[in-house]
Amino acid sequence: MSAMKNVWVFSEKQDLLVELCAGARQLGEKVAVLLIGNPSAADEAIKAGADHVYLMGELEDSRMVEDFLPTIEKLVAEHKPDLVMFGNTKRGKLMAGILAAKRGTSVLADVIEFLEDGTCKRRVYGGAAISTIKSNAEVAIATVGGGVFGTQALDESRQGTTENVDFVAAESKVKCVEKRAKAGATVNLSAAKRVVAVGRGFADKEDLKMAEELAELIGAEIGCTRPLSEGLDWLPRERYIGVSGVMFKPDLYITLGISGQIQHMVGCNQSQTIIAVNKDKAAPIFKQADYGIVGDLYKVLPMLIEKIKAGK
């Protein structure tokens, strides 16, 4: 997609917005950002790769993120960028779908790679296969998740421009009546260099403290498989790694009690080094692990923690 002249980026999450800016810089000659919120965030977007930032206004108490879609729709109609990338958050996917429908096209959903000839790749069948697709629309619309482009250092010397745009009110029958902060701290796994991931090998939520201790010792973040996040609700969805969760490229990925089904591995198979602990020697995880330990994590993990503490 190097032939693209104008690539636009939108995400309501600043960390993902910054990552997509860096990725857009690789794809287009000019990069523009559609920004909601504090104008000071425009500076970070420019340092990440944006040439121009459209300031669409603050997310007031009475507004929802999707209320900015008419503003985005108007800007896209006026300027016709080659590609608009939405972060693949719940709201990003919703907005990309509506925008594509209004423009009479389809979304390039969950793209994992953009190719030179204008095509892109996405995983299908639960991650079992990769589909190569291409948009023939005047404006291509795609959703892209964290970890696809990886994190890049900000360029403090980059200069860009900003532009205030008029907010176009949404013709919606849905009104925001209350906002409450989500409980618990947020995490950006896609930017983590080290990750300790936990799976169904843990019998009780309380036992996760062992994994958390290991993560703290080595300066890692905690991740998990889908059952622990969406089934048992032991960890927030932001820590779920897999085909419809977080995808990343850490330097070190340690799995504890994870079998290694393909739906999980597509989120982490680009890790530089994978270390697996599982009591089942036939677990699929060992086919992709660089180092494997066949054993009960309840015996292996305390020993590993003890050895690391002794070496400090």
Sorted by where each begins, the domain ranges of the chain are: 4-164, 189-311
* pTM recorded for the entire structure: 0.81
189-311, which class in CATH? Answer: alpha beta
pLDDT reading at 38 higher than 50 = yes
- Give the sheet arrangement for strand 83-87, strand by strand: 129-133, 120-124, 107-114, 140-144, 83-87, 4-10, 28-35, 52-55, 161-164
Kind of pairing between the strands at 252-256 and 194-198: parallel
pLDDT band at 184 (very low <50, low <70, confident <90, very high): low
Q: Give percent of the chain with pLDDT exceeding 70.
A: 97
Would the CATH topology of 4-164 be identical to that of 189-311? yes
pLDDT at 2: 46
Token representation of residue 22:
């860096």
In the predicted model, what is the mean pLDDT of the chain? 92
Distance CA 166, CA 62 (A): 17
pLDDT reading at 172 higher than 60 = yes
Distance CA 249, CA 29 (A): 26
Average pLDDT over residues 125-143: 91
Token representation of residue 234:
């032991």
Q: Quote the CATH superfamily of domain 4-164.
A: HUPs (3.40.50.620)
Biggest CA-to-CA distance, the chain: 63
pLDDT at 11: 97
